[in-house]
Structure 1
Amino acid sequence: MAQDHDHDSGPAHHQGGAHDHGHHHGPAQGHGHGDSHAHTHMDFAQMLPLLVQEAELFTPAYVQAAEWLREQRPDPELIVDAGSGPGVISGLFAEKFPGARIVAVDGAEPLLTEARARAERLGFADRFSTIEAELSEGVGDLEYPADLLWASRSLHHVGDQRAALTGFVRSLAPGGTLALLEGGLPTRFLPRDTGIGRPGLEARIDAVHDEWFTRMRTELPGSVAETEDWPALLTSVGLRHTATRTFLLDLPAPVSDEARAFAVTALTRRREGLAEGLDAEDLATLDRLLDPDDKASVHHRPDVFVLTAMTVYVGVKPE
């Protein structure tokens, strides 16, 4: 969103999960789900393990975002997680807002099944429900209007983003809050010069990914080009833009086994999904970085880290 950087982590895929000139969860990752699309289609249900892996790893940043939203909206009765994926963030909202009912909305039933199982495991199933719906059609039929609607990197999977936002606003109660996570910065795992191949590999991967993201957007059903000025878009659908804040995920080297595994997964999906846009030297470098038998690979090197930034835009519906 400009596209977000961590749209999806590359054409092969969400997450995360996460990103616009950020990264959405595209070919290699993504949290939200809109309508399906042709050459850049993502099977989000197939990506379930990656979506969970990413969302759980990124939880520290999501916790910061939830606590910030709680300052602005302390006691919501109903929270909607639009484009919820497997429900990791739904669970976080259930924890941070213990008096709220949580509704997870997604277009992929296997992900909603996982979300319901997660709610059972974490003990909030009595105040949790799901709706299977494509976000281009809004968030489905709610018992009563939402006080807080969270949409994390899901809007960019809908062809007509303005129309989807209009649907979100219809589902908000007067005075209700819409929190839109789009944009931010690309996730980085490696130093600029890794000692193998040309320096700047991840920047070149990001450039190819942005081209992929542009194609993904144009191939969505009913695609409408929008300047990715999120505050202006919120205002255009009748909301009052009240705040924007960016949350940092900073997992420095040496990373945990979980963070290293995520780096391997994300770079693998980028290698698979973006291969056509990368030159032979960069592909060879990626192959070395992903080879578990190579001591210079992400599996072994001590300088692997995870660093990204996620931006949340908040709009409030007039009373």
Structure 2
Amino acid sequence: MAQEHAGHQGPHHHGHHGHHGHQDGAQGGRPGHHHDHGDLDWAVLAPLLESQAELFAPMYREAMAWLGELAPEPGLIVDAGSGPGVVSCLFAEAFPGARVAAVDGSAPLLELARARADRLGLADRLTTVTGELPGALDEVGYPADLLWASNSLHHLGDQRAALAAFAERLAPGGTLALLEGGLPARFLPRDIGFGRPALQARLDAVEADWFTRMREDLPGSVAETEDWPELLASAGLKPTGTRTFLLDLPAPVSGPARAYVAATLARMREGTAEELAADDLAALDRLLDPEDEVSVHRRKDVFVLKAHTVHTAVRTA
């Protein structure tokens, strides 16, 4: 799905890593999409979803260390909206005594998850379930000790009902970890030396509008105040903590980080063309031109700064 928002990072660079017709993931992750949520081709986005999740691995590992304090030694971890399984495999590595179920709506992405588990020697502990959330969680077969939903919930029309369904799939004492919100990613200084300053802030505004439209167009969409601890409590769970995790890759960035920035901005350029002013489109074109000295392919001031927020709650009965 999409892992992000105005804190969601919007449509074009969700740090998600995935579900729904396959959902972030950008976990953005998701990296970006076009205007129509139903038209997203997650298999085509797979390389960007994988590269983004791999780049964000240090942040995910930090979150998992925190979850290990809240939910020590889980027997079954469910990654609800797993996408290509990068984070699912990180969970298997972080919790060597656990089985991991990767659940996603995209069969091609789950094929990648299985291949990754094979390469890493984790195939005996990772299973995949293809289907739409939350119903596909029934196919897991067992209640979860830790259910991780990273930017997948916001792809479901009735988020309150979906959280209740997630809660029902928890074992007594099980923890639900919900990654929603945070802050939009930053890649460039406010003034990049050409065009109007604050280009990324304007891109964020366009994406925030896109995100609102995406939510409104979902089947059964219900508007909710995004008070995640309150919503977790309304699902019958006891909120246990909220923490924000930072990915801070200062300039000069590595080759993979630079490639991620270029790919993300290219998706944003594709998805926002009709809504950006001509001068901003021209600036994006320069940033994306590998032959231009001021492009993100060449400039020395490119960085990656992104915050993800995780909310946790436990099933007490």
Is the structural similarity TM-score above 0.5? yes
Query: Structure 1's 61 and 115: CA in aligned 2 closer, same or farther, altered over 3 A?
Result: same
Whether the aligned pair in 2 keeps the contact of 1:186 and 1:309 (CA below 8 Å) is yes
Partner of residue 209 from structure 1, selected from 195, 207, 210: 207
Pair 1:138–1:224, CA change in 2 (3 A)? farther
Is 1:42 matched with 2:40? yes
Match of 1:310 among 300, 303, 308: 308
Contact 1:254–1:304 (CA under 8 A) maintained in structure 2: yes
RMSD, aligned CA: 2.0
Q: For 2:260 and 2:119, locate their aligned partners in 1 and report how far apart those are by CA, in whole Å.
A: 23
1:1-319 to 2 correspondences below 5 Å: 4-5=5-6, 7=8, 10-11=11-12, 15-17=15-17, 30=30, 38=36, 41-137=39-135, 139-319=137-317
Distance 1:206 1:243 in 2: 28
**Counterparts of 1:262 and 1:210, CA distance in 2:** 21
* Offset, 1:134: 0.7
Aligned mates of 1:93, 1:217 — CA distance in 2: 29
Residue 73 (structure 1) shift: 1.0
| 2:245 and 2:308 in contact (8 A); partners too | yes
Given that 1:136 and 1:159 are in contact with CA atoms closer than 8 Å, whether structure 2 keeps it comes out as no
Measure, in 2, the Cα distance between the counterparts of 1:41 and 1:229: 29
Once residues 15 and 25 of structure 2 are traced to their aligned partners in structure 1, the CA distance between those partners, rounded to angstroms, is 6
How far apart in 2 are the matches of 1:306 and 1:187?
A: 7
1:142 Cα deviation from its structure 2 partner: 2.4
Letter in 2 for 1:4: H
1:42 to partner: Cα distance: 1.9
Letter in 2 for 1:30: R
**TM-score normalised by length of structure 1:** 0.91
Letter paired with 2:11: G
- The CA distance in 1 between the partners of 2:137 and 2:157, in whole Å, is 15
Indicate if the aligned counterparts of 2:107 and 2:130 stay in contact, CA closer than 8 A.
yes
TM-score, length of structure 2 as denominator length? 0.92
Following the alignment from structure 1 to structure 2, what is the Cα–Cα distance between the partners of residues 104 and 17? Answer: 11
Q: Could you give the per-residue CA deviations for residues 15-41 of structure 1, whole angstroms, max 9, x where no partner exists?
A: 3338xxxxx668x8528xxxxx95663
Cα separation, 1, equivalents of 2:293 and 2:10: 25
Secondary structure, counterpart of 1:183 in structure 2: strand
In the TM superposition, what is the alpha-carbon distance from 1:138 to its structure 2 partner? 5.1
Q: Percent identity?
A: 62
